[in-house]
Amino acid sequence: MALKTLSLVLTFYSINCFAQGEKAGVKSTINRFFEGMRKADSTLIKSTLAPAAILQSVVQKKDGTAEVKTELFQEFITAVSKPHPEVYDERITYDVVKIDSALAIAWTPYKFYVGSTFSHCGTNSFQLVKLNGNWKIQYIIDTRRKEACP
């Protein structure tokens, strides 16, 4: 009986360690994405993306209704990697990271700064896929607002 209990404990411990390692991999990919933004490094940003990655934002229109806007990743990469005097610094926290096989989600509230000046805040929802053993960003949708930031 003690051997079965030990085996069960070791199995759960192994699964937990594996899950923590996978979560660290997801976070590492997302952190590299934002490091690429801070460094204006298009190569670093591209290294985190799946081949057909999608970038969208939920924006509030003047009439108060929501609209989803799609931005081409190449346009985003070009914009953030152009030389600019101030660092683009998106400061995130990890609220949720969940993984099922080769699919992961991450919910990351953020505050965005241009240099040391606050610009806006919101939440990112990342969808990642594990391709050839590496976590890649397939989809990002975010919210953006200037007020009511936590």
Query: Residue 41: left (phi > 0), alpha (psi -120 to 50), or beta?
Result: beta
The residue among 123, 125, 122, 124 whose CA lies nearest residue 147 is 122
pTM of the model: 0.84
Q: What is the pLDDT along the chain (150 residues), one digit of tens a residue?
A: 666 654 544 444 444 445 568 999 999 999 999 999 999 999 999 999 999 999 999 998 999 999 999 999 999 999 999 989 999 999 999 999 999 999 999 999 999 999 999 999 999 999 999 999 999 999 999 999 987 787
**Is residue 121 in a domain?**
yes
Q: Which residues contact 116 (CB under 8 A, 6 or more apart)?
A: none
**Is residue 149 in a domain?**
no
- CATH code of 104's domain: 3.10.450.50
**Is residue 103 in a domain?**
yes
**Is residue 125 in a domain?**
yes
Q: Which residues contact 91 (CB under 8 A, 6 or more apart)?
A: 110, 111, 112, 113
**Is residue 150 in a domain?**
no
**Is residue 34 in a domain?**
yes
Residue 122 belongs to what domain range?
2-143
Tell me the two tokens of residue 65.
């209704």
**Is residue 148 in a domain?**
no
Give me the number of domains the chain comprises: 1
**Is residue 38 in a domain?**
yes
